[in-house]
Homo-oligomer: A and B are copies of this chain.
Amino acid sequence: MGVLVVGTVTLDTVETPSKRVEDVLGGSGVYAAVAASFFGNTTVQLVGVVGADFPHAYTNFLQTRGIDLQGLERVEDGKSFRWGGRYAEDFNVRDTLFTELNVIENFQPVLPEAYKNASYLFLANNSPVLQLSIIEQATNPKLIVCDTMDFWINEEREALEALLARVDVLILNDSEARLLTGDANLVRAAETILRYGPTRVIVKKGEHGAISITESSYFNAPAYPLTQVTDPTGAGDSFAGGMMGYLASVGDISEAAIRSAMVYGAVVASFNIEDFSVERQKRVAFSEISSRYCELQEAARF
């Protein structure tokens, strides 16, 4: 089965207390697609846009991961989306240094014919209007998962609510869940979000793992206990992408499958964090993913 990822494809500049990297491969679409590509017999299709300055080495890398780039538009007279961020000592605070939208500003994604019947849709954080337009182009989705962020919650509330009525799963982080509902209690906040339409809400809590809530279930997914954090950029999208990749590979969206998928997502995210950009993912064998999955099973057993 196939995963369709719609997200950003960017050139990132990241500063941490130990190092600075410039114009490295990044973006929500990239992190999610690379994460999904770890799971056998899953085709991953990526929708996004880059400028003429986007290095061929980066698109080549994505292709070596088996990621279908038919939906990656290249604007020959445009510049790629650039983002810069700086992490403080303990990685809990991130300052955005700059955001240059460039080609993304007027991007109106049109799904290639071959993408329209994708089963698993992951709509990474984006304008809810754009996210909705993708849903309207998809002919046969089995599972629609979307992410969002504070900007859309504050600025595009109405469109976001229209989107939520159309998705199966909303993934967001704890502060976003609180912002969206005005409720500091995360469990109650997630329950409130269910009323907007999704049948499942997944709240990401960083080092504290993630929780999943439906009308009839509650799941507490552990995070992998990392002792070495190099760059958390993209961890949330890796989580979501890994989850989607696993679900597509097993062709199952049962509660049990989604729980396993969330833990696989947490594992892929843990590798993401161990190096800048997608450097660590380049060196990860699936056996290492399986091994951390087993460690988390052991860590959650009682």
A interface with B by C-beta (< 8 Å): 89-92, 184-188, 191, 205, 207-209, 211, 218-223, 225-227, 229, 256, 259-260, 262-263, 295-302
Contact = CB atoms under 8 A, between A and B. Distances in A.
A262 B300 CA distance: 12
Contacts of A92: 184
A256 B186 CA distance: 29
Copies of this polypeptide in the complex = 2
A290 to B, nearest CB: 14
B225 A211 contact: yes
Contacts of A188: 227
Contacts of A222: 220
B185 A259 contact: no
25 contacts: A90-B184, A90-B185, A186-B207, A187-B227, A188-B227, A208-B208, A209-B220, A211-B225, A218-B295, A218-B298, A218-B299, A219-B302, A220-B222, A220-B225, A220-B296, A220-B300, A221-B302, A259-B301, A259-B302, A260-B302, A262-B302, A263-B302, A297-B302, A300-B300, A300-B302
Nearest to A222: B220
A13 B299 CA distance: 39
A295 B260 CA distance: 18
A300 B212 CA distance: 11
B259 A220 contact: no
A202 to B, nearest CB: 13
The 6 closest A-B pairs by CB, nearest first: A90-B184, A208-B208, A259-B302, A220-B222, A187-B225, A188-B227
A301 B300 CA distance: 8
A149 B184 CA distance: 26
The interface centre, meaning the residue of A186, A262, A263 with most chain B CB atoms within 10 A of its CB, is: A186
Contacts of A221: 302
Contacts of A90: 184-185
A263 B301 CA distance: 11
A295 B299 CA distance: 18
Contacts of A218: 225, 295, 298-299
Given A205-B208, A208-B208, A220-B209, A187 B299 contact: no
The interface centre, meaning the residue of A92, A186, A187, A259 with most chain B CB atoms within 10 A of its CB, is: A187
Nearest to A189: B227
A91 B188 CA distance: 14
Contacts of A186: 207
A148 to B, nearest CB: 22
A189 to B, nearest CB: 10
